[in-house]
Structure 1
Amino acid sequence: MNITLQKIGAWYDPAGSSFIVWAPACKKVELILESPPPTAHPMMPDGVGYWRITLPVPAGTPYRFRLNEENSYPDPASFHQPQGVHEPSVLVSRTDPSAGDEDWKGIPLSNMIIYELHTGCFSDTHDFDGIIRRLDYLDELGINTIELMPMGQCPGQRNWGYDGVAPFAIQHSYGGIRGFQRLVKAAHAKGIAVLVDVVYNHLGPEGNYLPFYGPYFSERYRTPWGSPLNFDGPWSDGVRNFFLQNARMWLEDYQVDGLRLDAVHAIYDFSACHFMQELKDLALDIETRTGRKKILIAEIDLNDPRYINSVEKGGYGLDGQWVDEFHHALRVLLTGERNAYYEDFGDITHLEKAFRHTYVYNGIYSQHRKKTFGGYADQHPFSQFVVFSQNHDQVGNRPMGDRLTHNVSFEQLKLAAATVLLSPYVPLLFMGEEYGEKNPFQFFTDFSDPALIEAVRAGRKKEFPAFAEGLVPPDPQSEETFLRSNLSWHFREGQGATLLAYYRHLIRLRKTRPALQGMTREEFHLYPLEGQTLSFERKILTDQVYVWLHFGDSPAIIHNPTGCALRKIFDSAAAAWCGPGEKINNGKIELQPYSAVVYEKIIS
């Protein structure tokens, strides 16, 4: 597909800076330069909704757009909002003056070990430089990809990022454009790819000025966050261009390696070419021109493979997707929780199915949804699916933001890590899980609208009866809630140090054994369940590895089903991992409660 996009935003040039805004319903649009004294400059329409003007304006100049000689608003495609979402946009040079990373080519999704983090909570400085200072730590852990929660400008100083209203402006409290450019370069220099979480299904409730500019939103559908974006109605070309330009900014201007696409099931588009397909075409175009791999990973709550099916098979061609059901099956098996959507899980057969078919609900009846649900993903390689035992949603959307550390034993924590890292899928860690972080990760905001603040507080309380009736969620607006959610970095002694070494060992094992790296479904063999024990073989060429995951609360003795002579190479119950000690191997597979063991085939 030929990608032709309309430029938007303010583009600094010493010879004359260009200001371009999409406002198709307006009769008149003026650029208001707010450097004293303020001046108004009429903009020229082009007949398809875009207004333009070029003027010799110095970088650092604040500006707004005045619509129909009435109110003026920040630029919807502003690259810089240093005073917040309600204040003027600022013209800024985005040219990176530092040396480039021209040799960087990216990392295939199949090879990624992903680490999800929130920029504000990851370090004590709450910014990009704080991440840079921890890159050596992440590299030593074995992480080769970081995934940053959304960074578009939100109201105030702190937010998860999903309330962004200026998606082109990097959150000023994180360090803005220059801080992010430093982070990308530093990460690439360490061999670490950078993914950015983007939100193309809704905008936040405060500071959202897009409706004043044009029909950005649709009333034809509804989402949990209100009206969805207009991707398929009248004037939708301008909306699609807005978000495609945003993706191009991240992937090309800022040289990130891929995007995690939030809740794509809430992007409603019945066009002949779905927005997701157009987005993939754009990523491929950038990849071809730059010679760098560009990855698109979708969060989907539909168990619908069309998002990752090829265009030739009627799909949208995305590279991969998150698999929440792997998490649900694993968590409920460990904790016994059966509230809300967890009611559809609870038996080891659900986890076995997550390994065998990826989607647990693949055309079967869901009690929680009260309907038959899901499609089949068996034709897709494991490398298209990202799995985890924790992430921002599955921790932060609990009433108290409690991590798995608070809900299971140390042996179960180790088993959860092994289940993810020894699986054939792409593993994702949530910041701090590698050392058993005790601080919660709670929902926090920094709105300025009193009515909205109270509405959010009430909404959080109303949201959680199915999970924990009687618990009062922390006040999202309180700075203490944010500070409480910051990483403690207490890992230098005790179980934290052991767990960190354990994660490093498992990641190193995964990265150095061919059989534990990317593989086809034909190279993976799942053995029949034996009680509470799930076992599988991973084989690439002559490297054969056998894994047993035991979810029982008592020891188990398993007959060797492989017919091969085996040698144990890992046991989560070993004393080195502060476990109860390994069971003696007498030709059988002997397992401690809640343990993971790995054997290799002895080559004679």
Structure 2
Amino acid sequence: MPDIFELLPLNKLGAREDKQTSGKINFGLFLPGVSEEGEYELFVRVIHEKDQFLQDIPPMDFEMEHSMDLDYGDYWSATIDIEVKDKLKPYSAWGTPGKYVYRYCLKSPKKQEFIDWIIDPFAREFGVGKLSAFTLGYEHYVWNKNELEWKIPFINDIVLYELMVSEFADDIKGTIAHLDYLADLGINCIELMPLSNVEKRVDWGFAPIGYFGVDDRFGNRKDMQELIDKAHQKGIAVIVDSVYAHTSHLFPYYHVYNELGYSLDENPFMGPFAENWDDMDPRLNTDFNHKFTRDFFLTVNNHWLDYYHVDGFRYDYVPGYWLEDSENGYTKLVRDTYRLVNEKKGSSDHWQRFFEEESVNLIQCAEYLPCPTEVLEKTYSNCAWQNRTLDAARETAENPGKLTELGSLFGLIGYQPEIQNNGDKLKKTALQYLENHDHSRFICTFGTVACDNELLREGDRTFWYRMQPYLIGLLTAKGIPMLWQGQEFGENYCLPQEGWGRVLLYRPVRWEYFYTSEGRSLVNLVRKLVKLRRNNPQFSRGDHYFYNDYALYQSRNIMMFSRTYNGVFSLVALNFGAQEQVVNFKFPFNGNYREELHGQDNLKGVSAGKDVQLNIPGNYGRIWTLET
């Protein structure tokens, strides 16, 4: 029996321009439990974007009508005509095409004042801060004809790059301008930090107030479609960071019900069940025990997959809606999203990007840090965000005795490569990274530049060379290698462990580092390694074997592992110490071995099972591949 899942009727929600009648805008909003019977009145306040800061031009109020929806309860709607004759001042922009901002305002019999600044949870566009938006005379984006030919990379072949649009290149347009750089680097998938609407101009985006569009600080919905369209044309998939476990206090399904004094039991969306941060109001947790909540976020996923053509999601803070032993939380969301996509197989539209032979290449990445193997085994997630490799690398930099653990993690020991779930066969893997948005740059581990202000502390880039063996290991290891913006040329911000300075400080990528000697050395190495990985499937799809011999290797700061695929064998030898080391190794196959990094230490006439002396330079490595 097929899964039953439901999507909210977006055709009656949010602000929508009536294409049949010029100047007519339809509004729709679900507010379960807020009805006419309680003598509530709801208004939509609208003003042209050009007028919003002018003191003599107030917004116009339009009263909304109440009705009941059979599935979701109380529904409020209005249709307004925007006509030039209604403008209050001759210099007003009212009635002209362009962007209008709006908000909802609720009159309650229990309060003396209106509950104001209610944003539209179904808005497709946004204004500054707490304002939703729509564009009068909106012209939809025209996708490139090649979009129908685009195919998402197989999960094991991905080389991922995490970026925050505003820090990476100011806005979406700037990010588009950098796509050639990313493609040249060899990246074939980018992960965008949260794009959803938030109140502040400088913010990581993990306290959303609007989910169905792109925050105004980044650009607009057409900009976002253009970014994805052009990324696909360059062979780059796009996934988005999805924050579904918690919201801002301004999210209307918290804000309205909190202002009305409703208890948590009366709230149709929020709930206390999830793991809570000590400094966070538990009422800000979304509650997937509610059908409305489940349908809302599945509709968000469908909207981003269909309207924006994203290729998948990185799900933030999965423990917040994991719901152990329940089918209503994260487990149901990712299964329903998979099934929703799978139902599109055989159509002739853009959904075909997910299908290659028998695979469904929807990317669903879970941030479930307590146990990433569990979330892969129990759900339809096909990859997981995991900090264990990052932690082991940082511990190794401070204590070489941790090298054995890092070697095991480069092989993703304990992760199943394929799992059957409800009859569906899914390939599984995990992300491998040394840096991400949550942590200081890896170079900070080796030393920092003295600074009295903790927020401005930076890693010492003169230690750039110590990063080399870690990068070689990362980009030849099992799993999906991920780079955090600017890592490839030595970006060196340090990040506070806690406090608002983590998320409210602007840290733009310093592209000038690209032209320094440190930056050029690192980026040349990364380019070489990414190219090696993309062109040699043993590094992306092959078996991994860690040569765990402490006396022979780890005690001398050496890590050895191999990657093998369809008879092609490569040995990766890494030296995490400062001194060159000469070690013995028995190759499993006769033949000639090509050194991949520089080609200066090729091995001729190697006999299988015989000791070969290998020279491994300090703070660097070597990669030997059997010539076939």
Give the TM-score band, short-chain normalised. Answer: 0.7 to 0.9
Distance 1:89-1:136 versus aligned 2 partners, 3 A rule:
closer
Distance 2:592 2:340 in 1: 48
Counterpart for residue 367 of structure 1: none
Question: What code does the residue aligned with 1:27 have?
Answer: S
Distance 1:64 1:414 in 2: 52
> 297-306 or 28-37, which moves further after superposition?
28-37
Say if 1:264 and 1:299, in contact at 8 Å, map to a contact too: yes
1:175 lines up with 2:219 in the alignment: yes
Question: What code does the residue aligned with 2:545 have?
Answer: H
- Residue deviations 1:496-536, cap 9 Å, x none? 112211111111111111322223xxx32222232232212
Distance 1:382-1:329 versus aligned 2 partners, 3 A rule:
farther
Aligned positions of 1:289-304 closer than 5 A: 289=344, 290-293=351-354, 294-304=362-372
Residue 55 (structure 1) aligned to one of 79, 86, 90: 79
Deviation at 1:215, TM superposition (A): 3.4
Deviation at 1:349, TM superposition (A): 2.0
Distance 2:236 2:44 in 1: 42
Counterpart for residue 381 of structure 2: 318
Question: What code does the residue aligned with 1:556 have?
Answer: Q
Counterpart for residue 76 of structure 1: 121
Say if 2:412 and 2:479, in contact at 8 Å, map to a contact too: no
Aligned positions of 1:241-280 closer than 5 A: 241-270=295-324, 271-280=326-335
Distance 2:18 2:154 in 1: 36
Aligned positions of 1:475-514 closer than 5 A: 481-482=505-506, 484-514=507-537
1:34 lines up with 2:46 in the alignment: yes
Name the SS of the counterpart of 1:308 in structure 2: helix
Name the SS of the counterpart of 1:559 in structure 2: strand
Distance 1:495-1:295 versus aligned 2 partners, 3 A rule:
same
1:535 lines up with 2:535 in the alignment: no
1:570 lines up with 2:596 in the alignment: yes
Residue 144 (structure 1) aligned to one of 183, 188, 205: 188
- Residue deviations 1:44-98, cap 9 Å, x none? 122432415363656845443344544242212222221222x354467876332
Say if 2:474 and 2:481, in contact at 8 Å, map to a contact too: yes
- Residue deviations 1:458-489, cap 9 Å, x none? xx7xx38xxxxxxxx95965xxx41x543333
Residue 229 (structure 1) aligned to one of 279, 285, 305: 285
Aligned positions of 1:376-391 closer than 5 A: 384-391=429-436
Counterpart for residue 615 of structure 2: 590
Number of corresponding residues: 527
Q: Percent identity?
A: 21
Question: What code does the residue aligned with 2:46 have?
Answer: E
Question: What code does the residue aligned with 1:64 have?
Answer: R
1:106 lines up with 2:152 in the alignment: yes
1:411 lines up with 2:465 in the alignment: yes
- Residue deviations 1:151-195, cap 9 Å, x none? 111123221111322222311011121221121111111111111
Name the SS of the counterpart of 1:43 in structure 2: strand
Deviation at 1:594, TM superposition (A): 2.4
Say if 1:113 and 1:143, in contact at 8 Å, map to a contact too: yes
Name the SS of the counterpart of 2:27 in structure 1: strand
Deviation at 1:382, TM superposition (A): 8.8
1:25 lines up with 2:25 in the alignment: no
1:545 lines up with 2:570 in the alignment: yes
Question: What code does the residue aligned with 1:296 have?
Answer: Q
- Residue deviations 1:341-373, cap 9 Å, x none? xxxx961121123134546xxxxxxxxxxxxxx
Deviation at 1:39, TM superposition (A): 1.9
Distance 2:328 2:225 in 1: 33
Q: Which has the larger Rg?
A: 2
Distance 1:62 1:435 in 2: 41
Distance 1:492 1:419 in 2: 25
Distance 1:84-1:385 versus aligned 2 partners, 3 A rule:
same
Counterpart for residue 468 of structure 1: none
Counterpart for residue 5 of structure 1: 7
Distance 1:431-1:283 versus aligned 2 partners, 3 A rule:
same
Distance 1:286-1:555 versus aligned 2 partners, 3 A rule:
same
1:118 lines up with 2:164 in the alignment: yes
Name the SS of the counterpart of 1:45 in structure 2: strand
Question: What code does the residue aligned with 1:180 have?
Answer: M
Residue 329 (structure 1) aligned to one of 392, 399, 403: 392
Deviation at 1:435, TM superposition (A): 1.1
Counterpart for residue 268 of structure 2: 215
Deviation at 1:492, TM superposition (A): 2.6
Distance 1:510 1:598 in 2: 12
Say if 1:20 and 1:50, in contact at 8 Å, map to a contact too: no
Counterpart for residue 358 of structure 2: none
Counterpart for residue 312 of structure 1: none
Distance 2:248 2:456 in 1: 21
Say if 2:16 and 2:27, in contact at 8 Å, map to a contact too: yes
Say if 2:163 and 2:192, in contact at 8 Å, map to a contact too: yes
Distance 1:257 1:215 in 2: 30
Name the SS of the counterpart of 1:560 in structure 2: strand
Say if 2:478 and 2:540, in contact at 8 Å, map to a contact too: yes
1:525 lines up with 2:545 in the alignment: yes
1:352 lines up with 2:354 in the alignment: no
Question: What code does the residue aligned with 1:253 have?
Answer: Y
Distance 1:441 1:167 in 2: 30
- Residue deviations 1:118-146, cap 9 Å, x none? 111112xx100111111111111111111
Counterpart for residue 373 of structure 2: 305
Distance 2:437 2:367 in 1: 13
CA RMSD between the two structures? 3.2
Counterpart for residue 53 of structure 2: none
Gapped runs of 5+ residues in structure 1? 310-314, 337-344, 360-375, 444-459, 465-472
Distance 1:4-1:184 versus aligned 2 partners, 3 A rule:
same
Question: What code does the residue aligned with 2:287 have?
Answer: F
Deviation at 1:287, TM superposition (A): 4.8
Say if 1:335 and 1:407, in contact at 8 Å, map to a contact too: no
Distance 2:464 2:481 in 1: 20
Name the SS of the counterpart of 1:84 in structure 2: coil
Distance 2:626 2:202 in 1: 51
Distance 1:545-1:64 versus aligned 2 partners, 3 A rule:
same
Distance 1:492 1:348 in 2: 32
1:64 lines up with 2:106 in the alignment: no
Distance 1:161-1:230 versus aligned 2 partners, 3 A rule:
closer
Name the SS of the counterpart of 2:438 in structure 1: helix
Name the SS of the counterpart of 2:615 in structure 1: strand
TM-score relative to the length of structure 1: 0.79
Deviation at 1:538, TM superposition (A): 1.2
Distance 1:116-1:476 versus aligned 2 partners, 3 A rule:
closer
Question: What code does the residue aligned with 1:393 have?
Answer: D
- Residue deviations 1:21-62, cap 9 Å, x none? 221121236342535642212131224324153636568454
Counterpart for residue 516 of structure 1: 539
- Residue deviations 1:286-308, cap 9 Å, x none? 35422222211011112243322
Distance 1:390-1:280 versus aligned 2 partners, 3 A rule:
same
Deviation at 1:106, TM superposition (A): 1.8
Counterpart for residue 475 of structure 2: 421
Distance 1:238-1:56 versus aligned 2 partners, 3 A rule:
same
Distance 2:65 2:233 in 1: 45
Deviation at 1:561, TM superposition (A): 2.3
Say if 1:184 and 1:194, in contact at 8 Å, map to a contact too: yes
- Residue deviations 1:303-336, cap 9 Å, x none? 2433222xxxxx2211110121011111221244
Distance 1:220 1:332 in 2: 34
